[in-house]
Amino acid sequence: MSQQSLILPATGTGPGAGSAAGTAKARRNRRLLELAGAVSIAATYIFLVLTQPADIANGPASFSALVALGGFLLGAVLLIAAALPVLPTSTLVLMPVALVLNVVLGQLMGSTGLPFYFDAIGTVLIAVLAGPAAGAATGALSSIVWSFFNPTVLPFAAGAALIGFLAGLAARGGLFRRFYLAPVAGFVTGILAGVVSAPIAAFVFGGTAGLGTGAVVSAFRAMGDTLLAAITKQALISDPMDKAIVFAIVALLVYALPRRTSFQFPFVRRFRVLAGKGPATPEA
């Protein structure tokens, strides 16, 4: 109850009037959904690692592919279902923006010729401005919408949700208040997200989507690693670096925004996400 009363009432964007008991129950259901989503993702990962086929000479294992697809997508859908209906409109309208930024900024950064993917800039930006739940929902949803143009993104929805969630947690913990801490948070996020996404690449696609990453995986395979081990090691090389850069870019972007814009988000004001004082507002 006390937690509810701490939330600053954004004008007209509250979750709607309801009895105290009703909102408490709805919040418990939401927590259960979030928990079920996280458990589904974690259980799928552990199951896949424990039961990975010892011999893949007979071709890619359909069994592992189905389990990976089912478990990870179920987790992503549960996370969306938990977060989406309670997000305020001001956050909701940011989600399409995040998706567009993921795609467009990814392409723009690609024009610099650097060997990274940078396809999570929008997700991390929303997570920093609107919190972990919004970040997770944005990551998963943007994978779903992106899959309309590139269906291979769809299975990675759970990894994208994890990135958004961890970015939101880092922002809440104040890691974006110091510029040098943001890449560190990105590095840790990249380790976790890379490890979780590796079974998808290994079992659903049988490899990685890019030639550069494929070459790194080849090197580990040449040393005799299993496919999952090789792809996990490749992810541990590429992803932390990639996410560290993405977090740094987002930190630059957030501080480049006018205070009036960034401090309009209740999450930014409540958890003092950014260094410095906000503009003088009646709520602050």
Partner 1 sequence: MRAPSTLHPLTSLTAAGCTAVITTAAGTWPLSLAVALAAVVLARRAGAGRRVLGTAAAVLLPLGLSLLLLHGLFFPEGRTVLAAWGPARVTAEGLAFAWEAGTRTGACVLVLLLFSFTVSAPDLVAALAARGLPPQFGFVLASALTLLPAMAGRLERIRAAQESRGLVLRGGVLPRLAAVRLQMVPLVLGLIEESGNRAQALDARGFGAAGPRTSYRQVTDPPAQRRLRTAMLLLTAAAVALRLVASWPGAGPV
**Closest approach of Cβ 276 to partner 1, in Å?**
18
CB of 240 to partner 1, least distance (A): 20
Residues 170/129, Cβ–Cβ less than 8 Å: no
Supply the minimum distance, in Å, between the C-beta of residue 37 and partner 1: 16
Query: 2 vs 16, which CB is nearer to partner 1?
Result: 16
Q: Of 56 and 188, which has the nearer Cβ to partner 1?
A: 56
Query: Please, what is the minimum distance in Å from the beta carbon of residue 65 to partner 1?
Result: 5
Residue 39 or 97 with smaller CB distance to partner 1: 97
Contacts of 87 (CB under 8 A, 6+ apart): 130, 133, 134, 137
Three-state DSSP state, 230: helix
Identify which of residues 128 and 175 has a Cβ nearer to partner 1 in the complex: 128
| Closest CB 178 distance from partner 1, rounded Å | 20
Return the sign of the alpha-carbon dihedral for residues 222, 223, 229, 231.
negative
Q: For the chain, how are helix, strand and coil distributed in percent, rounded to 5?
A: 70, 0, 30
Q: Give me the DSSP letters along 100-127.
A: HHHHHHHHHHHTTT-S-----HHHHHHH
- Spatial distance between the Cα atoms of 182 and 171, rounded to a whole number of angstroms: 9
Nearer to partner 1, 53 or 174 (CB): 53
Q: What does each C-alpha distance from 33 to 1, 4, 77, 184 come to in angstroms?
A: 20, 19, 10, 30
Q: Least distance to partner 1 from the beta carbon of 62, Å?
A: 4
Length of the chain equals 284
Give 103 or 185: the residue with its C-beta nearer to partner 1.
103
